[in-house]
Chain A
Amino acid sequence: MFAYYLDLALRSLKRNKVLTTLMILALALGIGATITTLTVLRLLSGDPLPQKSAQLFYPQIDPNPKDGYVAGETKPAPTMTYPDAMNLLHARRATRQAAIVLSQAKVMPLQANSHPFFSDTVMTTADFFAMFDAPFQFGGGWNANDDEGAAQEVVIASFLNDKLFGGTNSVGKVIRINDHDFRITGVLKPWAPQPRFYSQDLGGRSYGDGDAVFLPLKSGRAIKMGPGDIECYAAVSDMDHLEAAPCMWVGVWVELGDAASIASFKEYLANYAKQQVSLSRFQRSETSLLDLMGWLRDQQVVPDDVRLQAGLAFGFLLICVVNTVGLLLAKCLRRSREIGVRRALGATRSAIFAQFMVEAAIVGMAGGVLGLVFAELGLLGIRHQPAEYASLAHLDLAMFLFTFVVALVASLIAGILPAWRACVLAPAPQLKAA
C-alpha cells in the first residue's frame, strides 16, 4: 500500500514541478537556518566534561564589603582571595580540590636566535589533572609537596611539546619560562574542554585551543606571574603581594563523589563563611556551590545573541511550515476531482489521508536533504564569523540525523491540514462537476 502511495505522491509532485520546487525550497531554507543555529547553540551549551561534570563543583564565598548587600539576594563573588582559596584547599574536605589562576607565560625557545612568545598558562595545584581527567602523553603531574615547596616544575600541552621538542618525550627536560628554568614533569595529550569551564571569570578565553603551560600556583607567583583578572574590594597599597591584598583572583574547584559529601561540603562552606563573618573578615555570609553545568549557566556562557538567533530561526521555520501548509493545500484542492474518483472507486478516507501524508513526507525529506546543504552553507558562514567558538561550528552525526527528524516532523505537521481537507471531501460533487 505504502509503495502505491509513494508512487502516487511522486507522480503528483512531478506533475506540478514549480509548486513542488517552491515548497521544498522554502522548507529547506527554514530547516537550514534552524539546524545552523541549533548546532551553534548545542556547541555553546555543551558539557565540556560529560563523564565528570556532575562531580565537579565551584564553591563561592563573598568577602565584599556591606555596600549594596541585600541579605539572601546578593550572589557571592565569582572568585576568591588567596587566603580563602588556601584555607579551602588545605581543609581537604573534598575528594580532590584545586586552586586555579590564569596567566600568560613568556616561553623562550631553546634554539638560538629565536624569539620568546607568550602562551596561555594555568597556575594551579596538584589535583588539577586527576580532577579534570586531563590525560598524559608522557610523565605526569606534580604532587602536593611541590605545591608547597614552589617547585620549578611544569606540565606542558602536546601542541607546545610539538613546537619546542618536535613531539618527542620531553619529560625531565628544562624550558625557560619568564627567564626561569622549569623542569617538565609531564606532557598532556591534546586536551581542550569546550567551553573551558575552569577559565570562567579568571580572565581567560572560553573556546579555542587549550592552555599551553601548567605550573604550581606558588611557583608561578614566585616568578611574578600575574593573574588574568583581579577584582579588589578595598583600596590596595601593594599590587606585588597580591596574596595579602584585599583582592579576589583565584578560582577553586572541588570534586565531590556523592550526595552526602556534597551536603557536608555545603555545610562546611556555610560554616566557613559564618566563621569569617564572626572574625569580621567578611561582611556577607552568602555561599554557593554550583556544579559544573550550573556554573556555566550562571556565567551565561551562551551569549544572548546566539539565543536570539535560535529564536529567530524557529520563527523562520514556523513561517516556512505555514508556507508549506498553504502550498500543499493548494495542490490538494486542485486535485479534488482525482480524490473524488478514488473515493468513488472505493478508497477509504484513511487511505486518502495516508496518501497525502506520504506526499508531505516526501516534500519533507527532500527539504531535509536540501536543508542540510543550506545548514552546511550557514555553518560555513558561522566559521567565518569573528566569535571565539567559530572554528568549532561543525555538523556532527547527531545534528545530521536531527535535521531529518526536524524536516519530517515539520512536513508532517504541515501535511495534516491539507490531508484532512482532502479526505473529508465529498466525492459526489467532484464527479458531477466533471
Chain B
Amino acid sequence: MDILPILSTLRRHKLTSWLLILEIALTCAIVCNAVFLIGQRLQRMDMPSGVAEHELLQIQVADAVVPPNPYARISEDVAALRQVPGVISVASTNEVPFGNSSSNGNLRLDPNQPERTLNATTYFGEDIAKTMGARLISGRDLQPDDFMNVDVVLKALGTGDSKNIPSVTLITRTLGERLWPGQNPLGREVWLTPTVALRVVGVLDSLVRPNAYDTSSAQYTMVVPIRMGASKDESYVIRTRAQDRDAVMTAALAALKKIDPLRVVTTQRSFDDIRNRYFQDDRAMAGMLAGVIIALLIVTALGIVGLASFWVSQRRRTIGVRRALGATRANILHYFQTENFLLATIGIALGMALAYAINLFLMTKYELPRLPAEYFPIGAIALWIIGQLAVLGPALRASAVPPVVATRSV
C-alpha cells in the first residue's frame, strides 16, 4: 500500500487529524498507566500467606464475665474445640495473617544499636505454626516448656528478671535472610529490647504479617512462645478439611457457647473470607480501573467512527473517481484502514511519551514504582485494534461507493 497519497490527504485535514492523534495519545497514556495500576493491585492480591488458607477458620469471642483465670479459660476452650468432629488442630493466637490487627516489635542485631534494624510482627500462642500450616524448613517448632504466661513476662520485663522472659523464637525465611544475609539464622540472637534477646530455634518457610502493606516487609514475622489469656482480642484458629469448614464452624461455635452461654461471638470467618476482606479495596480499585479503561476505549472508538464517517462522506467524489479509474473495493477499504493505522501509530508514539510522563508524576505523588517497559505495548496493541475495528464500518461504506458518483456533479 502506498502511503504517500494518504499523507498528502492528511496534510489537507491537519486539524481533524491532529485532534484524532491527540485523542489516541491521551487514551494510550491513560490506558498504559491504568493497566499498570491494575497489575499492581492484582499482584498485591496474590500475596502469599504461607498458611493453609482453605482449611482454616477463625473465631473470636468476648466473655460476658471476665474469667478468673484467663489461661485456664483458653485451655478449656481449646480442649473443647479439639473434641469437635472434623477438627484437625486448634491454636489460640493474638493475631492472624491478613487480620489487620497486629502486635509488632522493633528488632536490633546488637543491644546497643541506637536505631532498630527493622520492625517485625510477633505472633503469640501455642501450636500456631502447626495449626496454620506454616511449614518449618529448619530447626524445631516451639515446645510447651518454651512458653510463658504473658502477665509473668510483663512483670519480668519490669523487674529485669530474665528467667521469666522467653529466650527462643521462630522466624520466617525472609526475615532470616534480611537479618543475616547468606547465613544460617539457626542459633543466632535478635534483640527485642536492650535486655531481651531471642535465639532462633526454627525457620518457617513463610508466614505473612496481619497488616502486610508491601511485599518487602510482608514476611517480617516471628512466633514468640508467650501464652496469652482469654480476651476479646484473642483468636481461635481451627484447621479442618476444606469441605468440613461449615459444619465445623457451627459445631465449634456450639462448643464455645456451651462453656459460657452468655459469651458474644465477635468474629467467625474462614481464611478465604479474611483474604477477601483484606484485599477488598484493591479488588474494588482494580474493577474501577478496568471499567474506566473500557469506557475510554469506547469513547475513543466513537470518536474514530465519527471522524472516519465524516472523511468518507467528504471524499465520496474522490472515491468515485478512484473507483472509476480502476481502483478495486479492496483498494478503497485498505486506504482507510492504512490511514487509520498511520494516525493510530503517531498517536501511540506520542501516547507512550505521555504515559511515561504521567507515571513520573504518579511516582512522586503516590509512591508508585516505575512503569515497566512491558506495559507500553499493551496500550499500543489495544489502540491499534480499537482503531481498526472502529474504522471498519466507515471504510466498508467507502468501499461501497459506486464509481458512477464520479460522474455526478453533486
Contact = CB atoms under 8 A, between A and B. Distances in A.
B157 A387 contact: no
Interface residues of B, number: 52
- Interface SS of chain A: helix
A375 interface: no
A330 to B, nearest CB: 4
A329 interface: yes
B180 interface: no
B20 interface: yes
Contacts of B389: none
B264 A319 contact: no
- Interface SS of chain B: helix
A33 B306 contact: no
B288 A116 contact: no
Interface string A374-408: 00000000000111000000000000000000000
Interface stretch (A23-31, A166-174, A194-202): A23-31
A146 B267 CA distance: 35
A115 B284 contact: no
A407 to B, nearest CB: 15
Interface string B357-389: 000001000100000000000000000000000
A179 B264 contact: no
Contacts of B309: 18-19, 330
Contacts of B15: 329, 417, 421
A373 interface: no
A305 B34 CA distance: 12
A26 B289 CA distance: 18
A221 interface: no
Interface in A102-153: 104, 106, 115-118
A322 B295 contact: no
Interface in B134-188: 154-155, 157-159
B112 to A, nearest CB: 13
Interface in A1-53: 18-19, 22-23, 25-26, 29-30, 33
B303 A323 contact: yes
Contacts of B66: 224
B292 A316 contact: yes
Nearest to B313: A334
A295 to B, nearest CB: 22
Contact of B295 (A33, A116, A333): A33
Interface in B1-45: 15-16, 19-20, 22-23, 26-27, 30, 34, 37
B176 to A, nearest CB: 24
Contacts of A118: 62, 264, 266
Given A179-B65, A235-B157, A323 B115 contact: no
B285 interface: yes
A276 interface: no
B242 interface: no
Interface in A206-247: 224, 235-239
A387 B324 CA distance: 64
Interface in B45-71: 62, 64-66
A308 interface: yes
Nearest to A305: B285
A342 B120 CA distance: 78
Contact of B292 (A33, A325, A331, A387): A33
B296 interface: yes
A401 B232 CA distance: 49
B64 A116 contact: yes
Contacts of B19: 322, 325-326, 329
A67 to B, nearest CB: 6
24 contacts: A26-B299, A33-B295, A67-B115, A68-B115, A106-B64, A116-B262, A118-B264, A235-B158, A235-B193, A237-B157, A237-B158, A305-B281, A315-B30, A316-B292, A316-B296, A320-B299, A322-B22, A322-B23, A323-B300, A326-B16, A326-B19, A327-B310, A333-B310, A333-B314
A-B pairs, top 9 by smallest CB distance, nearest first, are A237-B158, A330-B310, A323-B303, A326-B19, A386-B280, A327-B306, A26-B299, A322-B23, A22-B302
Given A33-B295, A386-B280, 10 more contacts: A19-B306, A26-B302, A29-B295, A316-B292, A323-B306, A326-B16, A326-B20, A326-B307, A333-B314, A334-B310
Interface of A: 18-19, 22-23, 25-26, 29-30, 33, 67-68, 104, 106, 115-118, 179, 224, 235-239, 304-305, 307-309, 312-313, 315-316, 318-320, 322-323, 325-327, 329-331, 333-334, 385-387, 417, 421
Interface of B: 15-16, 19-20, 22-23, 26-27, 30, 34, 37, 62, 64-66, 114-116, 154-155, 157-159, 193, 232, 262, 264, 266, 277, 280-281, 284-285, 288-289, 292, 295-296, 298-300, 302-303, 305-307, 309-310, 313-314, 362, 366
